[in-house]
Amino acid sequence: MIRYLSVAALIAVGATVAFAQAKGGAAAITERKAAMKAVGGANKALNDMAKGDVPFDASKVAAAYKAMGDAFAKSKTLYPDDSMTGDTAALPAVWAKKADFQAKLDKAVADVKSTAASVKDVASLKTNHAAFAKATCGTCHKDYRAPAKK
């Protein structure tokens, strides 16, 4: 029992250290990719439901949009100046047009909220989520994310 407790305590300390270090450079890149991966995972869960591959579940819809909103809000601190280069797909425009990029993250948080509130069933999920993804994800990626390597 004591051993289990100390392992848990160590993990807790490790998580705190990782968070504290996530201020600049490579750590920020790692964290923002993880945040965007969480957005991608939530997006996939919603698309699977919209397609009917997974049964519609209002609580899962709410959880997916919450995860997305949290990740967008967190992303605001994950593009420090010393993280412009490295293993990242973020374009230099993120730093050249900082205010616009931050505003797009704010808008993404707001869009997530309004889309989540507008989804009542599979039909509304299908229509409203597709519109949200096109406008919110697509608009930012077009200007700020390097296209996927072929």
Min. distance of Cβ 133 from ligand HEC in angstroms?
Answer: 6
Cα distance between residue 25 and residue 88, in whole Å? 11
Other residues' Cβ atoms within 10 Å of the Cβ of residue 144: 20
Cα distance between residue 123 and residue 6, in whole Å? 49
**Structure tokens, 93:** 């425009």
Q: State the residue for tokens 């990029």.
A: 101
Comparison of 11 and 93: residue with beta carbon closer to ligand HEC: 93
Give the per-residue contact string, 37-66, with ligand HEC (x = CB under 6 A; - = no): x-xx--x-----------------------
**Which residues between 86 and 105 bind ligand HEC (CB under 6 A)?**
88-90, 94, 104-105
| CA dihedral (94, 95, 97, 103) positive or negative | positive
Binding residues for ligand HEC, rule: CB under 6 A, are 29, 32-33, 36-37, 39-40, 43, 68, 88-90, 94, 104-105, 108, 133, 136-137, 140-141, 144-145
